[in-house]
Amino acid sequence: MKIYTRQGDQGRTGLFDGTRVSKDHWRIETYGTVDELNSVLGLAIATCAEPALRTLLLKIQHQLFDLGADLATPADSPNAHRVRRIAPADTEFLEKQIDLADARLTPLREFVLPGGTMLAAQLHVARTVCRRAERRLVTLMQHEKLDLQPLIYLNRLSDMLFILARLANHLENKMDIPWQPGGA
């Protein structure tokens, strides 16, 4: 596969079905943010020493590639049948992971600041990028008809990343940092 094609030199890029759109199109902005999220998760994985958590994050990376393909392929595209779409089972998987991780943590009684361990901080960054991807998807949905499942998935994924950040701190015996209005 050739890395450069020169097809994007004029500020346009191709969707999976071959349709050419501006590189700042809502659809491109949305799945580009999902790609950014995937990269941030790659950084988190690189610093993660917990094998089960690494495996979970790697699975999420694969799902994010599925989501990117989903978002890059309009439903009425001739290639739409070739793309794995985000499904309720993907969100249910996230919910199960949230419940499993949350069961290992003390109940949250206050807002916490992003941070703690390096892994927790990276997962918090991933959470905020995920929230941005969710916002971009909402904008895209205002302009194009899309299935609701990707939006639900991103919403749940940001919840999971928050819980995993707390779990990362817990696994290294690092306390969450409680928010103190007005500063410490």
45-61 per-position pLDDT tens digit? 999 999 999 999 999 99
The amino acid that residue 46 corresponds to is A
80 near 73, Cβ under 8 Å?
yes
Domains of the chain in start order, with CATH, are 22-174 (1.20.1200.10)
- At residue 102, the pLDDT reads 96
Asked whether the predicted pLDDT for residue 64 surpasses 80, the reply is: yes
Confidence class for position 155, pLDDT limits 50, 70, 90: very high
> What is the predicted pLDDT for the residue at 7?
57
Dihedral (C-alpha) 136, 138, 139, 143: value to the nearest 10 degrees? 130
* Residue whose C-alpha is closest to residue 60's, from 180, 136, 163, 140: 163
- Residue 76's pLDDT band (cuts 50, 70, 90): confident
* Model confidence band, residue 78 (pLDDT cutoffs 50, 70, 90): confident
Cα–Cα dist 184/180, whole Å: 6
User: 103-151 pLDDT, tens per residue?
Assistant: 999 998 889 989 999 999 999 999 999 999 999 999 999 998 899 999 9
pLDDT of 171 reads 95
Q: What is the pTM of this model?
A: 0.89
Residues 35, 38, 44: CA angle, nearest 5 degrees = 150
Measured distance CA(105)–CA(166) in Å, rounded: 8
- Share above pLDDT 90 across residues of the chain, in percent, rounded to a whole number: 66
- Of the given ranges (22-31, 34-43, 94-103, 156-165), which has the lowest mean pLDDT? 22-31
Tokens read off for 167? 């779990």
Q: What's the pLDDT score for residue 33?
A: 96
Backbone phi and psi for residue 142, each to the nearest 5 degrees, phi listed first: -75, -15
CA 117, CA 174: separation in Å to the nearest integer? 7
Q: List the alpha helices (DSSP H) in the chain.
A: 26-47, 51-71, 88-102, 118-143, 149-171
